[in-house]
Amino acid sequence: MAFTRREFLRGIGLAAGGVAIPSVAYDRLIPYLNQPEDIVPGVSTWFATSCRECPAGCGMVVRNRESRVVKCEGNPLHPFSRGKLCPRGQAAPQGLYDPDRIRQPLRRSELGKLEPVSWDSALSELGDMLARKPRVAVMTDLQTGTLDALMRAWLAALGSDRLITYEPISYEHVKDTNGGLIPTYEIAKSDFLISFACDFLETWVSPIEYAIEFAKMREIRDGKRAGFVYVGPRVSMTAANADVRLMVSPDVIEQIATAFLEGTLERDARKYGIDPDSAKAATDGFAAAKRPLALPGLAANTCCGTAIFNARRDTGLVNRSRRHALSYVSSAADVDSFTRDTESGVIGALVIHNANPVYAMPQSERFTEALKRVPVVISLSSHLDETTAMAGWVLPSNTPLESWGDYAPYPDVVNLMQPAMGTLFDTRQAGDTLLALARAAGVNTKQSFKADTFVEYLRTRWSLAGEPWQELLQRGGKFAGAPAGLTATPITGYNTLGDPPVDRRAASLPGSTADPHFHTAAPSIYSLRLWAFPDSYLYDGRGANKWWLQETPEPVVKGVWGSWAEIHPSTAAKLGVSTNDCVKIENGGASVSVPVYVWNGVKPGTIAIPMGEGHTDYGQFARGVGVNIWPLLTEDVPLVNVTPGGGTQWVARIRGSTDQSHRAIVQTASLGENWSREKPIIMPLPSGYGKRDFYPGNKYKKHRWAMVVDLDRCIGCHACVTACYAENNLGMVGAEGVFRRREMSWIRIDRYVFDSAGHGYDIPERRGDAGSSLGRLLFQPMLCQQCDAAPCEPVCPVFAASHSEEGLNMQVYNRCVGTRYCSNNCPYKVRRFNWWDYKWPEPLNWQLNPDVTVRCRGVMEKCTFCVQRIRQAEITALREQREVMDGEITPACVQTCPTGVFTFGDLMDKNSRVSSIIETDPRAYQVLAELNTKPAVIYLKKVI
């Protein structure tokens, strides 16, 4: 029995070899050897700039940690965005750190591939070409002020004047019905708003501005509030917030407008396919309204209807003197003549700046072919999109977060842009590239432009502002009383040898009642009206390579990472398809295959598909995801041929039931009734404990953090969701992860649906009758409730889930062994598990917030009320020898919410806003209060 010593050692050695555990490689933290001045490690620097993720032009401040951009937030000094940003703005760092960004100049070789080239050789070669004076043209996205002026001056210096401002969504019809401009609609002053398929809370013109104004409009005064009616074929996020929805086919929207004005809406309700109760509610609301206002959508009929309405009931709320910069986008006619010029070989050199017509243009094949006939195509874009992929030369520009410049969304608002960090790659300011090209072509830039660099040019123009440069930079621009020289130059029209601009009044628009080709008959079975809507986050497709935007779910269908086609159950029955079956959609020589999503939030006879997916280039997160429907758009709302077949493909979406099943999770209060609390709030404080409780409560010395979520204000925009991703280093799960129900969002917007009788039901709706329409759709932000008697805490075997001294339910990542008992025991299911080691392809990992741990696989995580921000505020207060002030701490979601849904504060402070709301507001309740979890997130009932 005795082992010899040799045998023993041999045995031990084998055993040790057998249990070799792989060690985790740790990267090292090295402090600065030569610390740059003004950088204190651990202290953030904030730069004010402008958001350029869409034409809205909200003000932005960018947080820079150790010379890296980590977070974008709204500029609180900005007049209309007031410190808020939508999901697109929050995702701006992902454009800066796009792993598929162009990192150096490229030149197409003889073999046809784009090869790297140095700036000097590219500029000298191009300079030689430009010196030969070809007909030069510039195609750019919407730019105002300095860059726009520079482009015009540049063209003039090279003997041309061909500038096309190309925005795929050009608000053409809004302009046509408003005298060639996009006015400001002062909705906050209205008492009855009708949206004619205008998704103003999502993607239309200036979403943050309109969301803030909408929240103001909808405040309840003396038991009354302004009414909101949505008229359109699809229940968009905006439509979900309406009091009354009139689901109609887009063809009849103009007639609806007239019917409103003439009071015939109720009588003709059946003709339009509206249910009579909705028609009556809408009519009554309108009759009582003193300051009604209509908003135009993108489609022609909607703009005609709006124009008719606002003209007949002119309440002065359409402010034409405050036009939006989108008014200066080139019209479709101008783009058309430009395409013709390109086809006929008139254009000798084309410079493209951030425009992607090869992807996002209706029937883009024509333009693509035309582009091939231009000898010199130079792209100044930062990303290798479809158009840039066709260029002969790519001189990449800095992304907006690295750029100087300005942008004026309105005459009275001029945002000043500055780089928030150094240039990442071998790229340059677009303005500097143009100046360098001019110099290489033999132009004396000092003479022609009064500047050699773009910054000089910018500062010269901004000397008109009459304020010190530093103040302007710190504020983020000139707001109110901006000098005309800084704003957009109202030169409309593309100069095609003197052709007069086409008169595009309402009467001659396709789809208007005066048009003899207007279709009034209901579409036949396989011929449906295509309702193409800009994706809530990808907009016209520009956001497709930002995975935050692909992963944030679309608010009503909760679609992610792909395309889908929404159809009504009756349409689906006729086609013989159900959700996830593919259909082929054809129009104008193009066809796409896309899976359907069957629900009754879309009008029968209509097929609704989001724009923005289906890129063939652009990057790893965009390529091959979804389908591109731009080629199908021969007109705004075309009739397309839909054929079932093509297999099945799961519509990537967050699943879960929308049927509340009488569980009182989303609670409502009726307008005009006396509100009272059915159940008292069980305070997450020692006072909330009593005979029901086995253990005594947690004692708090200084703070007990809590949050109030006002369901009445939530519009479902998901800005909070994207902000949380940006702040807390959440991993990407992709479509596969969403399929397996492994989404990582710490805060999510749940939606619940109720029919007209108030019964919940689950969409996709399986009932097939043509009359069935979506009832009420309510949004509810759900995040960790930071319960005082948290059910997740007692069940964790290793104390990874435990309670902090300030009331937070902590998740200690380093202690978690990954049993997942806490997630099982959480009734709100807000805990998220790291199923894999999630990766951030370089340089996306530069964005990671250094204040928040990145979790490895096997670890549970959840909302922490942005504890890093809480601690930061406490440390600052300690250093300044004062108390933390109420409202000083804003978690990421609270910070960015445009409508003010969230209020965050200290329950131990009797004077804090959260304390007073919880004490006094009769709408306050807790979700699943009966479980006695004592949540510290108090909800305020939605008012219906």
Partner 1 sequence: MANVELKRIDEEVLQSLGRPSPRYAAVMALCALLMAAGLTAYMFQYYLGMGVTGLSVPVGWATYITNFVWWIGIAHAGTLISAILFLFRAKWRNRINRAAEAMTIFAIMTAGLFPLVHLGRVWVFFWILPYPNWRHTWPNFKSPLVWDVIAVTTYLTVSTLFFYLGLLPDIAAARDRTEPGVRKRLYTFAALGWTGKYDEWRHYARTYLALAALVTPLVISVHSVVSWDFAMALVKGWHTTIFAPYFVAGAIHSGLATVIILLIPLRKALRLERVFTLYYFEQMALLMILTGSIIAYSYGVEAFMSWYSADVFERQFSAFRAFHSPYTPWFWFMVVGNCVVPLTFFWKNARTNWAWLLIASIIVDAAMWFERLVIIAGSLIHDYLPSEWGWYVPRLPEVLMTCFALGFFTFAFLTFVKLFPSAALSEMKHDALEREEERI
Which spans of this chain sit near partner 1 (rule: CB under 8 A)?
A: 1, 21-22, 655-663, 665, 737, 740-742, 748, 750-752, 762, 782, 791, 794-799, 815-821, 823-825, 827-829, 831-837, 856-860, 928, 931
Measured at the CA of 228, the angle between CA 175 and CA 558, to 5 degrees, comes to 85
Q: Which CB, 400 or 716, lies closer to partner 1?
A: 716
Q: How do 106-108 and 393-394 pair as beta strands?
A: antiparallel
Q: Which CB, 19 or 30, lies closer to partner 1?
A: 19
- Closest distance between partner 1 and the C-beta of residue 751, in Å? 7
Residues sharing a CB contact under 8 Å with residue 331, sequence separation 6 or more, in sequence order:
170, 172, 175, 492, 493, 501, 502, 504
Q: Which CB, 638 or 818, lies closer to partner 1?
A: 818
- Closest distance between partner 1 and the C-beta of residue 779, in Å? 11
> Buried b / exposed e across 907-924, counting CB within 10 Å, b at 16+?
bbbeebebbbbbeebebb
Residues sharing a CB contact under 8 Å with residue 778, sequence separation 6 or more, in sequence order:
240, 666, 668, 711, 751, 752, 753, 754, 942
Q: Which CB, 409 or 559, lies closer to partner 1?
A: 559
Instruction: Report d(CA 904, CA 885) in Å as an integer.
Output: 11
Q: Which CB, 681 or 795, lies closer to partner 1?
A: 795
- Closest distance between partner 1 and the C-beta of residue 175, in Å? 41
Q: Which CB, 758 or 887, lies closer to partner 1?
A: 758
Backbone angles phi, psi at 48, to 5 degrees: -90, 135
Q: Which of 724, 752, 733 is nearest to 862 (CA)?
A: 724
- Closest distance between partner 1 and the C-beta of residue 492, in Å? 48
Residue found by looking up tokens 């405040």 in the block: 219
Q: Which two structure tokens, joined as six digits, stand for 85?
A: 């940003």
Q: Which CB, 358 or 763, lies closer to partner 1?
A: 763
Instruction: Report d(CA 603, CA 509) in Å as an integer.
Output: 23
- Closest distance between partner 1 and the C-beta of residue 761, in Å? 11
Q: Which CB, 152 or 815, lies closer to partner 1?
A: 815
Residues sharing a CB contact under 8 Å with residue 274, sequence separation 6 or more, in sequence order:
246, 247, 248, 265
Residue 136: strand pairing partners: 349
CA dihedral 78, 81, 82, 87 (to 10 degrees): -130
Residue 290: strand pairing partners: none
Task: Please report, for residues 170, 770, 772, the alpha-carbon distance to residue 599 in angstroms, rounded to integers and kept in the order given.
Answer: 30, 11, 10
Q: Which of 368, 395, 401 is nearest to 382 (CA)?
A: 395
Q: Which two structure tokens, joined as six digits, stand for 736?
A: 């596969």
**Residue type for 740, please?**
R
Instruction: Report d(CA 424, CA 687) in Å as an integer.
Output: 54
- Closest distance between partner 1 and the C-beta of residue 814, in Å? 9
Instruction: Report the helix count and the strand count for the chain, using DSSP H and E.
Output: 27, 37
- Closest distance between partner 1 and the C-beta of residue 739, in Å? 10
Q: Which two structure tokens, joined as six digits, stand for 428?
A: 């340059």
- Closest distance between partner 1 and the C-beta of residue 89, in Å? 26
- Closest distance between partner 1 and the C-beta of residue 745, in Å? 11
Q: Which CB, 305 or 760, lies closer to partner 1?
A: 760
- Closest distance between partner 1 and the C-beta of residue 821, in Å? 6
Q: Which CB, 82 or 815, lies closer to partner 1?
A: 815
Q: Which CB, 306 or 660, lies closer to partner 1?
A: 660
- Closest distance between partner 1 and the C-beta of residue 933, in Å? 9
